[in-house]
Amino acid sequence: MPDQSILLVISGGIAAYKSLELIRELGRAGVRARVILTRAAQEFVTPLSVSALSGEKCFTELFDLDDEAEMGHIELSRSTDLVVVCPATADLMAKTANGHADDLASTMLLATDKQVLFVPAMNVRMWEHEAVKRNVAQLRQDGAIVMEPDEGLMACGEFGPGRLPDVPAIKQAILSALQPKRDLSGKHFIITAGPTVEPIDPVRFLSNHSSGRQGYAIAEALISRGAKVTLVSGPVALPPPAGADLVSVKTAVEMLGAVQNALPADGFISVAAVADWRPSSSSDTKLKLKGENAPAMIELTENPDILKTISHLSDERPELVIGFAAETNDMETHAQGKLARKGCDWIIANDVSGDVMGGLNNKVSLYSTTGVEHSDWADKASIAKWIVDRVADKLT
């Protein structure tokens, strides 16, 4: 997906601060944000903080001499791919539903010819009020997307529906609205991501530096194209993509079992950094030093080869099986060798000799029996889209 843009309206409410995180996360996904701050929103976030994160001028006033000399509210409403109101207050939704226009945000919302996505956040009693229900119904009837708020404890101390959805869920809704292409609808993909953890004793384990970011980004990109995704993940510090069926595991044995239980699938993408070995036995109590110079001996046994196992299934083999190869040297030789040994359809190789394994950016090479294709150096969300574009070409 080429770079796209949204016009983000931040209205007044304590949840407004989360819009700053949303701007940053969208930027990582290649989506630029121009922002309108309502007067009430400026009680919670400042135009300076918004501009610093978005890299764009922040708009606040309808009667701005410079902007309105060029009919700024019209230009803003048309020069975008999507209008997002986050957080959407009861007041601003009421204005839009009933055709009121008394400030820059409400005027723009009536002047736009683009899809509008509202992300409500308000007190539970407000959300459940009959007037708000009527306005939400009217907005949806008029063609707007109105997300359902989350349920939970609110800043006011009350509990119930009305909380702003989590930023990953909002981001996914925006990406889906920006990408109406749903060419992977009806397809099921199983993705493994993150490290595995192989216990030595109750406090020690064998693992690696995988952050899970690339696998999670691929899951998110697939979901945005309409796919059903089962995400089998080792321990990571990431929220699961909205819409993914998350299966949390620790060991390689558990990961293989989860993948097999999730079959059948149209595609299997083995992104996880699976430990090649595990201790032959794990102690139930913490192992103690023996003293002197006696080395601690750990007997290792080979872990199951998840990619090879799925590649060689006689029944329920996915149509497309993709493995990842994290290499530090001779990448092409190792990738082509792995492609032949594992029996998969593609190997996606990357050089992890720097900070790729735990970092935000990546560059990959896709190896198949017909040749090799190289991506540019980019953030992992962009790499995920590059991969998913090729998956869609193969399966549709």
Residues of each annotated binding site: 276, 286, 304-307, 324, 338, 342
Residue 345 backbone dihedrals phi, psi, to 5 degrees = -90, -40
Q: Is 344 a catalytic residue?
A: no
Element (H, E) at 107: helix 104-111
Under DSSP, the state recorded for 41 is: G
**How many other CB atoms are there within 10 angstroms of residue 370's CB atom?**
7
Between the alpha carbon of residue 106 and those of residues 7, 64, 101, 121, 338, the distances in Å are 13, 15, 5, 17, 57
C-alpha triplet 327, 364, 214: angle, nearest 5°: 90
Q: Record the tokens describing residue 333, joined without a space.
A: 């030789």
Find, among 21, 47, 384, 36, the residue nearest to 224 by Cα.
384
Taking the C-alpha atoms of residue 332 and residue 350, their distance in angstroms, rounded to an integer, is 10
Start-to-end Cα distance in the chain: 17
Under DSSP, the state recorded for 242 is: T
In the set 58, 86, 156, 344, the catalytic residue is: 156
Which residue numbers belong to the known binding site for CTP? 276, 286, 304-307, 324, 338, 342
Residues 155 and 16: beta-carbon distance below 8 Å: no
Beta-ladder partners of 35 = 8, 58
Residue type at 63 in one-letter notation: F
The b-or-e profile of 136-172 (16+ CB within 10 A means b, else e) is bebbeeeebbbbebeeeebeeeeeeebbbbebbbbbb
Residue numbers annotated as active site:
156
